C-alpha cells in the first residue's frame, strides 16, 4: 500500500461515522427541514467534531440554504463538505514545518504529552524518516521516570539507525536534554529529538519539569527548542482537547502529533483541534510500524475521507 492508501484504510472507521453518517442523514430527504439539520448536527457532534465547531458548520449550512433556496440534498452536503474543508485550510500558513526552520542546526524537537499517547513511538518514526532523508539524528531519552522508557527509545533508535543519549532512571530529565543538545552541537547533528515522561507524581510536577527542560535547552542552544510538539491520542476524543488546553497554559506549543488515527472512529477530532486549538497538526500516526507517521496534509486527509 502507498501512503495515501494507508491513510485511507486507517480512516475507514472515521469515514463510516462521519461521512456515511452525514450521507444517511441527508440522502433521500425530499426537503431539508429542521429535523434534517438536527440530524446532521447530531452526526457531527457524535463524530467528535465538537460542539462549537459543529455550530459553525450548521450556521453556515443554514445560511446557504436560505441564500440558495436550494433545499436539495446535494447542495446541503456540498455546503457541509466545504465548511469542513475551510476549517482544515485555515491551518495552512501557520504550520512551522513549512517555515524555513531547516536552516537551523541542530534542529531541536521537544516531544511532550500525557502517558501512553504515543510519544516514544512517534519519535522512533520521526527519527527514521529524518534518517531516510540523510539527516544525522540524535535522540535524548529524557523520560527517566520509568525504567522501560529508556529501553523502549533505545530499541527505536536501533530500528531507525540513529544515536541516542541515555540517562539512569531517576536522573534529572533536564540533564539528559542538556547533554543531548550539547552533543548535537559538538558533533554536528542535524536534528535532536527529546523524549519526555508523560506522568510524574503530580500534574504540577510534570509541567514544572517540562518548563525546566525548556529553560535548560535554551541555555545551551541560545534559543528555545525549534519545535515543541504535543502528542495527542485521537482515540481519547474530547479528552485530547482537554489535555491540550492544560499543556498550552504552561508550554508554548508549535504543533500537534495526532496518533492512532488508524482503527478509531474519532478522527473527526482533527477538525476540532484545528478549529479550536489554533495549533497546527503537523503529523498523524496511522499505525504502529516505523513507516506509519505521515505529515498532515489537509487536502490528502479530506480526499482520504471523502473518496
Nearer to ligand GTP, 22 or 141 (CB): 141
User: Which residue is closest to Mg ion by CB?
Assistant: 120
Nearer to Mg ion, 79 or 259 (CB): 259
Q: Tell me which residue has cell 487536502.
A: 299
Distance CA 226, CA 108 (A): 5
Asked if 77 touches ligand GTP (CB under 6 A), the answer is: no
- Please state the separation of Cα 105 from the chain's center in Å: 24
Interface mask toward ligand GTP for 261-280; x: CB under 6 A = -xx-----------------
Cell of 65: 440554504
The piece of 15-23, 34-42, 110-118, 240-248 that touches ligand GTP (CB under 6 A) is 110-118
The piece of 88-96, 119-127, 184-192, 242-250 that touches Mg ion (CB under 5 A) is 119-127
DSSP state of 102: G
Identify the residue among 39, 64, 97, 115 touching ligand GTP (CB under 6 A): 115
Cell of 284: 498523524
> Exposed (0-12), middle (13-18) or buried (19+): which is 67, by Cβ within 10 Å?
exposed
3-state secondary structure of 48: coil
Cβ(166)–Cβ(150) under 8 Å?
A: yes
The piece of 62-70, 119-127, 163-171, 182-190 that touches ligand GTP (CB under 6 A) is 119-127
Asked if 288 touches ligand GTP (CB under 6 A), the answer is: yes
Nearer to ligand GTP, 174 or 259 (CB): 259
Asked if 287 touches ligand GTP (CB under 6 A), the answer is: yes
3-state secondary structure of 110: strand
Q: Tell me which residue has cell 441564500.
A: 67
Cell of 209: 519539569
Asked if 120 touches Mg ion (CB under 5 A), the answer is: yes
For 125-141, give the DSSP string.
Answer: HHHHHHHHTT--EEEEE
Looking at residues 169 to 208 of the shown chain, list those that interact with ligand GTP (rule: CB under 6 A). Answer: 198
Widest Cα–Cα separation across the chain: 70
User: Which residue is closest to ligand GTP by CB?
Assistant: 285
* Sign of the CA dihedral with 236 first, then 237, 239, and 240 last: positive
Nearer to Mg ion, 169 or 306 (CB): 169
Q: Which residues bind ligand GTP (CB under 6 A)?
A: 113, 115-121, 143, 149, 198, 231, 259-260, 262-263, 285-288, 292
Amino acid at each position: 500500500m502507498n501512503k495515501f492508501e494507508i491513510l485511507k484504510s486507517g480512516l475507514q472507521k472515521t469515514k463510516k461515522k462521519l461521512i456515511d453518517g452525514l450521507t444517511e442523514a441527508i440522502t433521500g430527504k425530499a426537503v431539508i427541514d429542521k429535523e434534517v439539520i438536527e440530524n446532521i448536527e447530531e452526526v457531527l457532534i457524535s463524530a467528535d467534531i465538537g460542539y462549537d465547531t459543529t455550530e459553525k458548520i450548521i450556521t453556515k449550512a443554514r445560511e446557504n440554504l436560505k441564500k440558495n433556496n436550494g433545499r436539495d440534498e446535494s447542495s446541503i452536503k456540498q455546503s457541509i463538505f466545504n465548511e469542513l474543508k475551510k476549517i482544515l485550510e485555515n491551518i495552512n500558513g501557520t504550520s512551522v514545518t513549512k517555515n524555513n526552520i531547516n536552516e537551523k542546526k541542530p534542529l531541536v524537537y521537544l516531544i511532550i504529552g500525557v502517558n501512553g499517547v504515543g510519544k516514544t513511538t512517534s519519535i522512533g518514526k520521526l527519527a527514521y524518516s529524518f534518517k531516510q532523508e540523510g539527516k544525522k539524528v540524535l535522540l535524548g531519552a529524557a523520560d527517566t521516570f520509568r525504567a522501560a522508557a529508556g529501553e523502549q527509545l533505545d530499541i527505536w533508535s536501533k530500528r531507525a539507525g540513529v544515536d541516542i543519549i541515555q540517562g539512569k532512571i531517576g536522573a534529572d530529565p533536564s540533564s539528559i536534554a542538556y547533554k543531548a543538545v550539547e552533543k548535537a552541537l559538538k558533533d554536528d547533528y542535524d536534528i535532536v529529538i527529546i523524549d519526555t515522561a508523560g506522568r510524574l507524581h503530580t500534574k504540577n510536577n510534570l509541567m514544572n519539569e517540562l518548563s525546566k527542560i525548556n529553560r535548560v535547552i535554551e541555555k545551551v542552544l541560545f534559543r528555545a527548542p525549534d519545535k515543541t510538539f504535543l502528542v495527542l491520542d485521537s482515540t481519547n476524543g474530547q479528552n485530547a482537547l482537554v489535555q491540550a488546553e492544560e499543556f498550552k497554559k504552561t508550554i508554548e506549543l508549535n504543533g500537534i502529533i495526532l496518533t492512532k488515527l488508524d482503527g478509531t472512529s474519532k478522527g473527526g477530532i482533527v477538525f476540532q483541534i484545528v478549529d479550536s486549538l489554533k495549533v497546527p497538526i503537523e503529523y498523524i500516526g496511522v499505525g504502529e510500524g516505523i513507516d506509519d507517521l505521515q505529515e498532515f496534509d489537509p487536502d490528502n486527509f479530506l480526499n482520504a475521507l471523502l473518496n
